[in-house]
Amino acid sequence: MQISRRKFLRQTAYVTSAIASASTLAACGIFEKSPQETKAGGDEVERPVTQDKSTLYIYGWATYVNNQEVLDNFTKETGIKVVGDTYDSNEVMLAKLEASGGRSGYSIIYPSDYMVTQMRDLKLLAPLNKKLLPNIKNIEPNYLDLPHDRGAIFSIPVSLGTTGFAYNVEAVKSIIGEEPLDWRYLWDNKEKLRITLVNDPREVIGMALHILGHSYNTKEIVKIEKAFQKLQELTPAIANFTTDAWREPLASGDLMICMAFSGDAISLARQDPNIKYVLPNNGTSIWTDTMAIPRGASNIEGAHAWINYVMRPEVAAKISDANSFGTTNKLAKSMIPDDLKAIKALEPSQAITAKSDRITKLDPEILQIYEGFWTRLTTGLG
């Protein structure tokens, strides 16, 4: 899974531009065109706006729509064929649905938590019919009342993700000795470490805000600048700002610690016993992916059947295994593979959750401030 999908947090002016550009793609006929690649590798996808109920079109992250076993079993049980198209950022998905005016042809989408708020405000989501979702009882109650969608009116959280440390155990032990426990470890050992931070201003600046005692979603310029100055102290240790290109250098020992998103880091840790993924005990960024039904969906009944199917514990466990994320399904937790279950950082403890934060939508003028400091940080202008 390409966790670069977290690019959605960079809500700067380019998002508005992308939506405006995408609006030129909207058509009034039977089909809407999508620039996304399908699993078959096509560059242009046409999905019928007017559909029969024997097909369900899904638009989501790769591990949700390309898990053939999950798709095939749904078809066997319901007789509904599933066709999945993928996107690599929430912005791409949002632009397409905005452009279509509710005629995208998709009946299921997988927006991340923050994007649910934005799509709800734009009236792009259809409310869920809970009478058609008896398996909602399998979801941990606290996940059904998160700030992005209180009461799960428009979305069902399916996967839990975090931001933490991926580190090379041998390299860290041989050079420093103690393994990392919290974000301050980076500053305490900056003269000895070689690290990467994710290429994401909200995550990186948010982390610095967090250790200074502020929210990831701080709007005060003075506090954001203090976080920038704090990050400048780390520059001797920073090899790069990258979300994806850290795996091989970390495994080889060229890098010692990488700020990483849980799906990528845990996947690597499952393959290499010398790599560990841990959550800072002073708190971090927590996020969820959800299932939702877009406004104008053609197959509402099939969409509810899909959501109810995915909330079955055995299905939720297969999805968790595929993407190495935690699951919101309380019954699935005992069904996930032992190697994944053994990773303590798969899901944050209550103690860490209480100290953690969720990145939320900020106004464009505040985002410009974050981007300004981010540019100075990553270009070394100081």
Q: Are residues 230 and 370 in the same domain?
A: yes
Token pair belonging to 69:
């076993």
> Is residue 340, in this structure, part of any structural domain at all?
no
How many CB atoms are located within 10 Å of the residue 322 CB? Answer: 18
Residue 239 has pLDDT above 70, yes or no: yes
Q: Are residues 52 and 17 in the same domain?
A: yes
Q: What is the mean pLDDT of residues 15-41?
A: 35
Token pair belonging to 329:
């399904």
pLDDT, position 57? 95
Question: Strand 195-197 vs strand 257-261: parallel, antiparallel, or unpaired?
Answer: parallel
Residue-wise pLDDT for 166-184, tens only, equals: 999 999 999 999 999 999 9
CATH number at residue 269: 3.40.190.10
Q: Are residues 93 and 240 in the same domain?
A: no
Q: Are residues 171 and 230 in the same domain?
A: yes
> Is residue 190, in this structure, part of any structural domain at all?
yes
Instruction: Specify the DSSP element, H or E, that contains 291.
Output: strand 286-294
- The count of structural domains within the chain is 2
Q: What is the mean pLDDT of residues 221-237?
A: 97
Rounded Cα gap, residues 149 and 145, in angstroms: 7
pLDDT band at 62 (very low <50, low <70, confident <90, very high): confident
Q: What is the mean pLDDT of residues 43-62?
A: 76
Rounded Cα gap, residues 282 and 271, in angstroms: 27
Residue 14 has pLDDT above 50, yes or no: no
pLDDT band at 358 (very low <50, low <70, confident <90, very high): very high
Higher pLDDT, 264 or 16: 264
Q: What is the mean pLDDT of residues 249-257?
A: 96
Q: Are residues 327 and 308 in the same domain?
A: yes
Q: Are residues 366 and 238 in the same domain?
A: yes
Residue 381 has pLDDT above 60, yes or no: no
> Is residue 326, in this structure, part of any structural domain at all?
yes
Rounded Cα gap, residues 214 and 207, in angstroms: 9
pLDDT, position 90? 84
Rounded Cα gap, residues 264 and 199, in angstroms: 14
Q: What is the pTM of this model?
A: 0.80
pLDDT band at 153 (very low <50, low <70, confident <90, very high): very high
> Is residue 139, in this structure, part of any structural domain at all?
yes
Q: Are residues 110 and 231 in the same domain?
A: no
Rounded Cα gap, residues 268 and 266, in angstroms: 5
Residue-wise pLDDT for 90-128, tens only, equals: 888 998 999 988 788 899 999 999 899 989 999 999 999
Q: Are residues 281 and 246 in the same domain?
A: yes
Shortest CA distance to 292 belongs to which of 103, 110, 29?
110
Determine the structural domain holding residue 178 and report its residue range: 161-285+356-379
Q: Are residues 17 and 104 in the same domain?
A: yes
> Is residue 232, in this structure, part of any structural domain at all?
yes
Q: Are residues 58 and 105 in the same domain?
A: yes
pLDDT, position 34? 34
Shortest CA distance to 215 belongs to which of 6, 112, 355?
355
Mean pLDDT (the chain, rounded)? 87
Residue 343 has pLDDT above 60, yes or no: yes
Q: Are residues 126 and 34 in the same domain?
A: yes
> Is residue 348, in this structure, part of any structural domain at all?
no
> Is residue 97, in this structure, part of any structural domain at all?
yes
Q: Are residues 191 and 227 in the same domain?
A: yes
Rounded Cα gap, residues 109 and 297, in angstroms: 10
Q: At what angle do helices 364-379 and 201-211 cross, to 10 degrees?
A: 90
> Is residue 103, in this structure, part of any structural domain at all?
yes
